[in-house]
Structure 1
Amino acid sequence: MSKKITVGVVGAGRIGKLHMNNMKNMPQVRLKTVSDIFADDLKDWFAESGAEKLTRDYRELVNDPGIDAVFICTSTDTHMQIIREAAGAGKHIFCEKPISFSEEETLKAYEAVQKAGVKFQVGFNRRYDRNFHKVKQLVEKKVIGDLHVLKITSRDPNPPSLDYVSRSGGIFMDMTIHDFDMARYISGSEVEEVHVQGATLINPKIAELGDVDTAIITLKFANGAMGVIDNSRQAVYGYDQRLEAFGSKGSAQVNNETESRVDLLSEDGVKGDNPLYFFLERYNDAFIQEVKEFVEAVMNNQEIRTTFKDGIMAQRIAMAARESLESGQPAKVKGLE
């Protein structure tokens, strides 16, 4: 592999545009082709995109022998087909989460990737946040002793549209799946069991679609530790992303990112900045780092940090969470064979 890789991007929605904008600033990347079914409406954007070609048909880039790697940034229901075709064409693959909504489809895609021998990275960007990664290291090195409790708070500033909710796969597959991956990543242990309490407290129409917008999830880890995740689709003060790893020798905590760390003290009280408002701001550096690591892994034939198996396990925890919500009972998580 030369010291430059040629990339194609499937899907020019919000996340696809974000990755392309970041890759424009990476000299080791040649951004050759982007495909989107709404390509005819993207011509003005394309002129500034940094890509060389715009097409409606993703197969043009999948079948292009000059393209080394494919970024799959389309809706989840299209992932499996594109993964299988890209793997069959020998392309390395970066795929946004979740891999699919179906255990069967995900495993078929996994088999295709294994058979082709290509590299595959799933887009769990939070692993690449410098603060969360430091907590991971502190836990791994037992600086806080044995992990006892992992607490994750993850709340969006605004609920998504009802159209999005209807095709998202539900809050656990769409939103909490990041938290499930973080739980495995920080703890260094598999989740064996989940127990969910969920409610629709923000928009009753979400309940009509069979989903919830607020959830408390408890986790049981294989290493004996316990976990708690709290989710909300609406935190009016901003994007609330906090984490604590509590252990036998101490605690490691990550608080929200804010525009500044300045507190104003006056007779009216103490005031500070709200959390950054959305995930594009909060995790901008993490998005850049995850792509850099993928590019380096392809160029230098290195191991991928966030693997297909990580995608499978986060998806299985999400499915168990849904099972628990519906039954009201704890649900076991299927392990990797």
Structure 2
Amino acid sequence: MKVGIIGAGRIGKVHAKNISMFVPEMEIKTIADPFANDATREFAAQYHIPNVTTDAADILEDPEIEAVLICSSTDTHSHFIIEAAKAKKHIFCEKPIDYDLNKVHEAINAAKDAGVKLQIGFCRRFDHNHRAVYDMVQQGKIGKVNLIKVSSRDPEPPPVSYVKVSGGIFYDMMIHDFDMVRFLAGSEVTEVSAYGSVLVDPGIGEAGDVDTAVVTLKFENGAIGVIDNSRKAVYGYDQRVEVFGSEGCAQDENDIPNTAVLSTAEGTTYGTAYKVMWDRYTGAFVAEMQAFAQAVANDTETPVTGEDGLYPVLMAAAATKSLHEGRPVKISEVE
């Protein structure tokens, strides 16, 4: 199938490279970005993408293009979902759909009404370690789920200029973890309590956000969840999950480039963590795109639906409200 990519920033380039190398079901015809330049054209040529444009309409109005990848800035996601749905294109969209819940619903409904596929880019579901934990839970190996813990820490904070337009740590960073706890629990969150501090970069606080946060969650099935985030882990990306149940516990360690251990008289040394997200989740980015291609080709449901994109936004809204008001917030208050 011929596809178009809207957005030629970092994640757009990651998906373009992965499709070209690992997803034979797809062929990229056009990549669009309002700031496309010679560097964009050089990148496109490297991966045999024939067309580069500054106008997304060149993709949306092309009858040959069957599916669209929306990799543009978050404030454009819901708009492009709606326009792509009107054009009868299947849609892969990076998270989140939008910060505005009304726009999230409008986008999801547009895809449903048009009868097109919609997959949201929560790539961590496709990570080999996190998926192994999920599979053990689904197979009943730990019994009834009682506690879920997720630790997610970035190597360095983003620029303050980005923080100002990101929606905040709960929408920009923890939203992946909101999706992960829901994925692992197999149950919806009913209540959120959030706590946050500015411990990494005072500029983040001046921009109205926090850089260190802990959220506790209550689920419909009685389980309890805990998520911790930090914008700066000096040792690299740190991503771990644990599900504790009535019959056991499933957990993964932080993924690192290699697990070799050096032991000498001076001590024991382990491998260092990944320093950039694109390396940490290389396999997951490929797997999610392969899953999207298969859903379109086989006319099956996408593995991360529009509704899957909605619930983490609800949880982020509840966490933001909880942080500002200093109290637990029920999902029903923001729904």
What interval of TM-score do these two structures reach, taking the shorter chain for normalisation?
Answer: over 0.9
Which residue is equivalent to 2:77?
79
Of 20, 30, 34, 2:31 maps to: 34
Q: Is 1:125–2:129 an aligned residue pair?
A: no
Measured in 2, the distance between the counterparts of 1:248 and 1:14 equals 42
**Residues 1:23 and 2:10 are matched in the alignment:** no
Distance 1:98 1:60 in 2: 24
RMSD: 1.3
Verify the 8 A CA contact 2:193 2:327 in the aligned structure 1: yes
Q: Assess if the C-alpha contact under 8 Å between 1:155 and 1:240 holds in 2.
A: yes
Structure 1 window deviating more from structure 2 (50-59 vs 24-33): it is: 24-33
2:243 is matched with 245
User: Which residue identity is paired with 1:7?
Assistant: V
Amino acid across the alignment from 2:34: I
Aligned position for 1:11: 7
Paired residues for 1:54-203 under 5 Å: 54-203=52-201
Q: Is the 8 A contact 1:12 1:35 kept in 2?
A: yes
Partners of 1:110 and 1:147 in 2: CA distance: 30
Distance 2:176 2:108 in 1: 20
**Residue identity matched to 2:14:** L
SS at match of 1:57: coil
Residue deviations 1:108-162 (CA, integer Å, cap 9, x gap):
1112111101000000000111221121121122211111110100000000011
Ranges in structure 1 where 5+ consecutive residues have no aligned partner: none
The answer (yes or no) to whether the contact 1:243–1:254 under 8 Å persists in 2 is yes
CA change 1:336–1:320 in 2 (3 A) is closer
2:37 is paired with a residue whose SS is helix
Q: Secondary structure at the match of 1:316?
A: helix
Q: 1:286 aligns with which of 277, 284, 288?
A: 284
What is residue 308 of structure 2 aligned with on the other side? 310
- Mean Cα displacement is larger for which, 96-105 or 39-48? 39-48
The CA deviation string for residues 196-246 of structure 1, in whole angstroms up to 9 with x for no partner, is: 110000011111111000001111111111111000000000100011111
State the SS of the aligned residue for 2:46: coil
Matched to 1:299, the amino acid is A
Which runs of 4 or more aligned residues in structure 1 lie more than 3 Å from their structure 2 counterparts after TM superposition? 334-337
Which whole-Å CA distance do the structure 1 matches of 2:268 and 2:243 have between them? 28
Equivalent residues in 2 for 1:226-265 (5 A)?
226-265=224-263
SS at match of 1:47: helix
- Give the conservation status (yes or no) of the 8 Å contact 1:196–1:216: yes
State the distance in 1 between where 2:140 and 2:288 align: 25
- Contact preservation (8 Å) 1:154, 1:230: yes
SS in 2 for 1:198: strand
- SS for the counterpart of 1:261 is coil
The 2-side partners of 1:91 and 1:198 are apart by 40
Deviation of the 1:27 alpha carbon: 2.1
Greater shift after overlay, 132-141 or 50-59?
132-141
Q: Secondary structure at the match of 1:82?
A: helix
Q: Secondary structure of 1:189's partner?
A: coil
Return the offset for 1:40. 2.4
Any gaps of 5 or more consecutive residues in structure 2? none
- Say if 1:136 and 1:335 are closer, same or farther in 2 by CA, change over 3 A: farther
Aligned partners of 1:313 and 1:335 also within 8 Å: no
